């Protein structure tokens, strides 16, 4: 893992390594202005992500899931409220600091895989490991997601589920502190999606990477350590699964 004891380049301060939270967001609001119209995407949310946990974020379309994830990942900034990342105030970071934060600490996985078609699986992952601080080798990352034998394949030679696993390998190869996944199974059928969820669970367990997964599919929540449900920009419900289900047991 990245050496968290070194002063972080985001703020120059030493992050607290004892705390149990990766993220601590308080009273987050996000208002989008569309001409005359105001859209209140988040209406005062408190949200924590704990070290090592696998969290599922549920909620109807438009409830604010992507907005919350994008703020945590430094892709967007809140209108008000604070986000602490390992005791550093993300909301005080400028653009350059947020760019470094994303590059060094966050792995993203989206519904669409965003692979470069002219590069092999290995080369797609190497794009990230070449600029990362403390990466694992692309081969190792692809092995972790079960794609060792496909390492020299181009995206067009891979199924949707395999392409998503390349995207996951790319996201984890830099050994991020947190993996943020926005509808990672959204474009996949249920059985292919199961494989992708199993990879996310394996990574979470083997690397201990704190992971937040957005999904529309409520049954997927059974695999989470903790489930947060958003409704209309607020937290409607939070609960813990004492015995998270194996992804293989989940169908949707
Ligand atoms: N860039 C933007 N500009 C204006 N409004 C936005 C923007 N992004 C999101 N919104 C609005 O904010 C609200 C929350 O959007 P968000 O994308 O977070 O929802 P979501 O829960 O991820 O939905 P879905 O499940 O459909 O992806 C919606 O009403 C949406 O239209
Ligand atoms: Mg969304």
pLDDT value of residue 10: 54
Assess contact for 83 and 89: CB atoms under 8 A. Answer: yes
Confidence class for position 4, pLDDT limits 50, 70, 90: very low
For 5-58, the pLDDT digits (tens) are 444 545 444 444 456 899 999 999 999 999 999 999 999 999 999 999 999 999
| Number of the ligand closest to the Cα of 39 | 1
Confidence class for position 87, pLDDT limits 50, 70, 90: confident
Pocket test for ligand 1, best of 28, 40, 41, 57 (most atoms within 8 A of CB): 41
pLDDT value of residue 18: 52
Assess contact for 128 and 174: CB atoms under 8 A. Answer: yes
**115 token code pair:** 């692979």
What is the mean pLDDT of the segment spanning 198-214? Answer: 95
Say yes or no to pLDDT of 2 above 50. Answer: no
d(CA 212, CA 10): 22
Backbone angles phi, psi at 181, to 5 degrees: -120, 120
pLDDT value of residue 8: 52
Beta-carbon-side half-sphere exposure of residue 125 (alpha carbons within 13 Å): 33
Q: Calculate what percentage of the chain has a pLDDT beyond 90.
A: 89
CA-nearest of 147, 181, 175, 217 to 68 is 181
Looking up tokens 């059985």, which residue turns up? 191
Say yes or no to pLDDT of 147 above 70. Answer: yes
- With H, G, I as helix, E, B as strand and everything else as coil, classify residue 17: coil
Average pLDDT, the chain: 92
Pocket test for ligand 1, best of 67, 71, 110 (most atoms within 8 A of CB): 67
| Number of the ligand closest to the Cα of 75 | 1
Nearest alpha carbon, ligand 1 atom 26: 61
Assess contact for 190 and 201: CB atoms under 8 A. Answer: no
Q: Is 38 exposed, middle or buried (0-12, 13-18, 19+ CB in 10 A)?
A: exposed
Ligand 1 binding residues, C-beta < 6 A: 32, 34, 39, 41, 59, 61-67, 216
Say yes or no to pLDDT of 210 above 90. Answer: yes
Assess contact for 1 and 175: CB atoms under 8 A. Answer: yes
Q: Calculate what percentage of the chain has a pLDDT beyond 70.
A: 92
pLDDT value of residue 65: 98
Say yes or no to pLDDT of 241 above 70. Answer: yes
pLDDT value of residue 122: 98
Domains of the chain: 52-77+94-249 (3.40.50.300)
pLDDT value of residue 13: 42
CA-nearest of 90, 79, 142, 83 to 115 is 142
For 88-144, the pLDDT digits (tens) are 999 999 999 999 999 999 999 999 999 999 999 999 999 999 999 999 999 999 999
């Amino acid at each position: 893992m990245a050496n968290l004891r070194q002063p972080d380049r985001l703020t120059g301060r030493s992050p607290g390594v004892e705390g149990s939270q990766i993220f601590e967001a308080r009273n987050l609001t996000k208002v989008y202005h569309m001409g005359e119209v105001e859209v209140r995407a988040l209406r005062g949310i408190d949200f924590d992500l704990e070290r090592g946990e696998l969290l599922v974020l549920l909620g109807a379309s438009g409830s604010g899931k992507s907005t919350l994830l994008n703020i945590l990942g430094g892709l967007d900034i809140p209108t008000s409220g604070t986000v602490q990342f390992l005791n550093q105030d993300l909301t005080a970071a400028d653009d350059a600091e947020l760019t470094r934060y994303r590059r060094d600490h966050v792995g993203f996985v989206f519904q669409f895989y965003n692979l470069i078609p002219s590069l092999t699986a290995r080369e797609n992952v190497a794009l990230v490991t070449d600029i990362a601080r403390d990466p694992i080798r692309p081969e190792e990352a692809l092995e972790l997601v079960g794609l060792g034998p496909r390492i020299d394949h181009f995206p067009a030679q891979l199924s949707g589920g395999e392409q998503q696993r390349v995207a996951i390998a790319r996201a984890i190869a830099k050994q991020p502190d947190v993996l943020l996944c926005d509808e990672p199974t959204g474009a996949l059928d249920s059985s292919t999606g199961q494989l992708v969820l199993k990879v996310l669970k394996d990574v979470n367990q083997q690397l201990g990477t704190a992971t937040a997964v957005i999904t529309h599919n409520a049954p997927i929540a059974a695999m989470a350590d903790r489930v947060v449900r958003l409704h209309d920009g607020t937290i409607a419900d939070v609960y813990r699964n004492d015995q998270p289900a194996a992804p293989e047991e989940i169908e949707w």
